[in-house]
Amino acid sequence: MPKDAHLNFSLAEYQHRLSATRDAMAARDLDCLVVCDPSNMAWLTGYDGWSFYTHQCVIVQHDQEPVWWGRGIDAAGALRTVYLAEDNIVGYPDHYVQSTERHPMDHLAQLLSEQGHGKAAIGVELENYYYSAAAHQALQAGLAGAKLVDATALVNWQRLVKSDREIDYMRAAARIVESMHAAIYEMIEPGLKKNLLAAEIFRSGVAGTDEFWGDYPAILPMLPTGMDATAPHLTWDDSVLAAGDITFFEIAGCYRRYHCPLSRTISLGKPPQKYLDAEKAVLDAMAAGLDNAKPGKTAQDIAIAFFDTLEKHGFKKDNRTGYSIGLSYPPDWGERTMSLRRGDETELRPNMTFHFMPALWLDDGGLEITESVVITDSGYESLANVEQRLMVK
């Protein structure tokens, strides 16, 4: 291990993660795994850097330590953040970066061949933001004798049950998101420009608390107002808030790359009855769903209880109502595994964590009141303590 590396977890925990990944590889008859998702790279080795705009990966093999591979100038960042031996940190020359003549995967193919994988079954993360079609073509061309196998989310699924240290980091992120929502409520008022409110969200999120510094979140703050809030993923502009405006805030605290998302909605003045009815429906349905948030239940048990209760109130939601969360990098704080929806029969186990997202996007605005929870031995724990209600100021 590089002597100056800063690790967020013990070597024993990293070895446990590696063992679980190797077992999953063996079950798929994979000789080698190329991991390009930066969240999976970090989870396996500790690597943490804003270098995912160029091609990089961790190579996992059965009989030797993983290898970090990436742009040459980022190898120094690997030395600062991973537990791997220096010999297992491999950088490629900069003439591969954004070149029209060669592809970085040409270099990776040569490295894999030198390691004896020229004819191996190699897993790749095909359905992943960071593994492009051109990357796959170049890797295939350079490893003509190998078999490239789709191993999308193989590592992600090993991350579902968090260690106690991971839960501690998510609780720290929860303290940060609590302070972020307090800052929003204190600052928001008619006449305030939206971009200034967004700036305060960034400031409070990065400032963190007296105890925990704030990391950057995997998703930017979303704070649409009025008709913009009929859509779930709009951010901000320079418009001025007015009396009667209703805005939802979908934000997350982040600590050492671990997230606690939490959404709340604020009305500047008394909200219409329609929104009070929606608030009642969402809170009742959320309570029904969370009654099923316990070991032995399934993801769909939460979803079905939520959807059924929501419909009794006269509202309908046609998308999933939550997902697994934890360690992540842009552009998504979800783990891209378990979803709270009908048909997902993933069994809940202690130390699983998810964002329960019972948002409603109506014909004239939106309402988001969400919770991030961890499954306990007997039920669940809400990570953050922010009152579940449609806030009025």
Query: Quick one: average pLDDT of 310-330?
Result: 96
Asked which of 132, 159, 186 is the last residue of a domain, the reply is: 159
In this structure, are residues 313 and 277 in contact, taking their beta carbons and an 8 Å threshold? yes
Co-location of 228 and 195 in the same domain: yes
- Would you call 177 helix, strand, or coil by DSSP? helix
Q: Is residue 1 part of a domain?
A: no
Q: Which amino acid is at 71?
A: R
Asked which of 159, 179, 199 is the last residue of a domain, the reply is: 159
Q: Is residue 105 part of a domain?
A: yes
One-character DSSP codes across 248-281: EEEEEEEETTEEEEEEEEEESSPPPHHHHHHHHH
- Provide CB contacts within 8 A for 199, sequence distance 6+: none
Confidence band (pLDDT; 50, 70, 90) for 327?
A: very high
Is residue 93's pLDDT more than 70?
Answer: yes
Predicted local confidence at residue 52, as pLDDT: 97
Number of structural domains found in the chain: 2
Is residue 4's pLDDT more than 80?
Answer: no
Is residue 313's pLDDT more than 70?
Answer: yes
Angstrom CA distances, 57 to 53, 109, 256, stand at: 12, 12, 20
Distance of alpha carbon 194 from alpha carbon 200, whole angstroms: 10
Q: Which structural domain range is residue 75 located in?
A: 11-159
**What DSSP designation does 377 have?**
S
Co-location of 113 and 222 in the same domain: no
Q: Which of 46, 34, 33, 37 is CA-nearest to residue 78?
A: 46
Q: Is residue 81 part of a domain?
A: yes
Co-location of 75 and 186 in the same domain: no
Q: Is residue 146 part of a domain?
A: yes
Co-location of 199 and 262 in the same domain: yes
Query: Quick one: average pLDDT of 14-26?
Result: 98
Q: Residue 249 class from Cβ within 10 Å (0-12 exposed, 13-18 middle, 19+ buried)?
A: buried
Q: Is residue 4 part of a domain?
A: no
- Provide CB contacts within 8 A for 273, sequence distance 6+: none
Confidence band (pLDDT; 50, 70, 90) for 5?
A: confident
**Tokens 């939106």 identify what position?**
366
Co-location of 198 and 170 in the same domain: yes
Q: What angle do CA 170, 323, 194 make, to 5 degrees?
A: 75
Co-location of 115 and 191 in the same domain: no
Co-location of 222 and 257 in the same domain: yes
Co-location of 199 and 299 in the same domain: yes
**What DSSP designation does 153 have?**
T
Confidence band (pLDDT; 50, 70, 90) for 3?
A: low
Asked which of 97, 128, 159 is the last residue of a domain, the reply is: 159
Query: Quick one: average pLDDT of 230-245?
Result: 96
Q: Is residue 3 part of a domain?
A: no
**Tokens 């009929």 identify what position?**
230
Q: Is residue 6 part of a domain?
A: no
Co-location of 155 and 208 in the same domain: no
Query: Quick one: average pLDDT of 160-167?
Result: 98
In this structure, are residues 2 and 41 in contact, taking their beta carbons and an 8 Å threshold? no
Co-location of 155 and 172 in the same domain: no
CATH code, 185: 3.90.230.10
Query: Quick one: average pLDDT of 148-177?
Result: 98
Predicted local confidence at residue 236, as pLDDT: 97
Report how far Cα 366 is from the mean position of its chain's Cα atoms.
Answer: 23
Is residue 172's pLDDT more than 80?
Answer: yes
Dihedral angle sign, alpha carbons of residues 114, 115, 117, 123: negative
In this structure, are residues 356 and 302 in contact, taking their beta carbons and an 8 Å threshold? yes
In this structure, are residues 32 and 123 in contact, taking their beta carbons and an 8 Å threshold? yes
Co-location of 239 and 252 in the same domain: yes
CATH code, 28: 3.40.350.10
User: Which region, left, alpha or beta, applies to residue 130 given φ > 0 means left and ψ of -120 to 50 means alpha?
Assistant: alpha
Co-location of 366 and 298 in the same domain: yes
pLDDT tens digits for range 43-56: 999 999 999 999 99
What average pLDDT is seen over the chain?
Answer: 97
Q: Is residue 229 part of a domain?
A: yes
pLDDT tens digits for range 182-208: 999 999 999 999 999 999 999 999 999
